[in-house]
Amino acid sequence: GQQLNQSPQSMFIQEGEDVSMNCTSSSIFNTWLWYKQDPGEGPVLLIALYKAGELTSNGRLTAQFGITRKDSFLNISASIPSDVGIYFCAGPFLMLAGGTSYGKLTFGQGTILTVHP
Amino acid sequence: NAGVTQTPKFRVLKTGQSMTLLCAQDMNHEYMYWYRQDPGMGLRLIHYSVGEGTTAKGEVPDGYNVSRLKKQNFLLGLESAAPSQTSVYFCASSSGTLAGGYEQYFGPGTRLTVT
């Protein structure tokens, strides 16, 4: 099945530093999603990308849909302590059932971010 | 607009006991999903539903059953709990439409311990 490889697995940074993480796949995706999970909470959608080459920002977060459609990148600028959490990439693979297309998400393993004040 | 809610938040079961986890969404989403999350394993899909009255198996369905009698609710049942089912369970929903339909919205999770 489709797999997403997310790197790095973990990062320890100082407050104020920029962060970069990426996600790669052996298959082409038409959509890339980035989620953040705070400790003890459910994943929250940060950014959705729908077009190859697309660059989208959400505050200090910027995500890019790779031109090959097999990768995506998430950058966080000027990190702060509340950026701590696990960041997941996700992409759908289409399935057909009764003539209706729908997507189940494949998730990366996550990048654990720790920010030291 | 509460989004996706889950009950209970925490539960401890003894081996062999049964329980039902309830998920509710108020976004009128067609699709709903149940995941489990274990350390080092990421999110794994247990069962999902593409509409009221429908259910389908995900990656790790064994030991679980689901029902979607109403569009807004998706129930996950454990008939005979096992220690291997100790995990954090998340429910999610998505609209399923072509425009933004892949975006899944998650509940806060249920932490289950089976002793």
Instruction: Assign 3-class secondary structure to chain B.
Output: CCCEEEECCEEEECCCCCEEEEEEECCCCCEEEEEEEECCCEEEEEEEECCCCCCEECCCCCCCEEECCCCCEEEEEECCCCHHHCEEEEEEEECCCCCCCCCCEECCCEEEEEC
Listed range (A36-40, A61-65, A104-108, A113-117) with the worst mean pLDDT = A104-108
B26–A contact, CB cutoff 8 A: no
- Confidence class of residue A96 from pLDDT cuts 50, 70 and 90? low
B4 touches chain A (CB under 8 A): yes
Least confident of A91-95, A98-102, B29-33: A98-102
pLDDT per residue as tens digits for the range B4-57:
999 999 999 999 999 999 999 999 999 999 999 998 778 999 999 989 999 999
Pairwise CB contact (< 8 Å): A42 & B48:
no
A with B: how many residue pairs have Cβ under 8 Å apart? 52
- Best mutation target among A102, A107, A109, A111 (most B Cβ atoms within 10 Å) is A102
pLDDT of B90 over the 80 cut: yes
pLDDT at A100 over 70: no
Mean pLDDT of A26-39: 92
Nearest Cα of chain A lies from the Cα of B15 at a distance, in angstroms, of: 24
Q: What is the average pLDDT across A1-12?
A: 86
